[in-house]
Amino acid sequence: MQVFKKTITVSKEDLDDLNHVNNVRYVQWVQDIAKEHWLTYATKDILATYSWFLVNHFIEYKNQALLGDTLLIKTYVPKAEGVSTVRHVEISNAKTEQLIVKSKAKWCLINSKTQRPTRITKEIADLFN
């Protein structure tokens, strides 16, 4: 299983009225890393043929992040088969390693032309291994 990672630094624009990261921002980061992971490894042909549709999303807020914190965002897909998969995302403080957010999201693979669910091919499944 391949783990895709990136780090970000919390900026003033990420904060809410309580001066910690706004919950909506975490959801955006979960979306962003999923897209970045997909775009990094999918070929032009795969990108032209397929896209993903979000079926459901669960997010658990464990701790807070504050202005200037460096966050490590990790995502992985343990299994890709059938027409859907579950993507995991973890956001932690890069310095303390304290877990801040855990997310699981079910995604369905869509044929871009028909806009209908389609089976995950071996080529696509291999992108996550």
Please state the domain extents for the chain. Answer: 4-126
What whole-number distance in Å separates Cα of residue 33 and Cα of residue 72? 11
H or E element in which residue 92 lies: strand 84-93
What whole-number distance in Å separates Cα of residue 87 and Cα of residue 75? 7
Q: What percent of the chain has pLDDT over 90?
A: 98
Phi first, then psi: give them for residue 15, nearest 5 degrees: -90, 155
The string of pLDDT tens digits covering residues 1-53 is: 899 999 999 999 999 999 999 999 999 999 999 999 999 999 999 999 999 99
Does the pTM of the predicted model rise above 0.75? yes
Side-chain half-sphere exposure of 15, counting CA atoms within 13 A:
12
pLDDT of residue 19: 95
Amino acid at 93: N
pLDDT of residue 114: 96
- Assigned CATH topology for domain 4-126: Thiol Ester Dehydrase; Chain A (3.10.129)
The answer to whether 55 touches 86, Cβ cutoff 8 Å, is no
pLDDT of residue 33: 97
Q: Is the predicted pLDDT of residue 129 greater than 90, yes or no?
A: no
